[in-house]
A = this chain, B = another copy of it.
Amino acid sequence: MTIYNFSAGPAVLPQKVLETAQSELLNYRGSGMSVMELSHRSSLFDEIICSAESLLRDLMKIPNNYKVLFLQGGASLQFSMVPLNLAQGKKALYVDTGSWSKKAITAAKAIPKVNVEIIASSQDKNYSYIPELPQTVDQEAAYVHITTNNTIEGTAYTTIPNFGKVPIVADMSSNILANDYQVTDFGLIYAGAQKNIGPAGLTVVIIREDLLNQEAIFAPMLDYTLQVKNNSMYNTPPTYSIYIAQLVFEWLKEQGGIDSILKQNKEKAAVLYDAIEKSALFESPVRQDSRSLTNIPFITGTAELDKAFNQAAVAEGFQNLKGHRSVGGMRASLYNAFPLEGVKALVTLMDKFESEHGGK
Contacts and interface: CB of A to CB of B under 8 A. Distances in A.
Interface string A154-177: 000000000000000000000000
A34 B25 CA distance: 14
Give the interface centre of A5, A40, A200 by most chain B CB atoms within 10 Å.
A200
Contact of A218 (B3, B34, B42, B110): B110
A112 B76 contact: no
B10 A218 contact: no
A77 B26 contact: no
Contact of A75 (B72, B222, B235): B235
A25 B18 contact: yes
Interface of A: 1-3, 5, 7-13, 15, 18-19, 21-22, 25-26, 31-34, 36-42, 72-77, 79-80, 84, 107, 110-112, 192, 194, 198-202, 216, 218-222, 234-241, 244, 317, 319-320, 325
Contacts of A201: 72, 201-202, 236-241
13 contacts: A1-B32, A3-B33, A31-B319, A42-B320, A72-B72, A72-B201, A73-B77, A77-B221, A79-B220, A84-B219, A199-B239, A201-B202, A201-B241
B236 A10 contact: yes
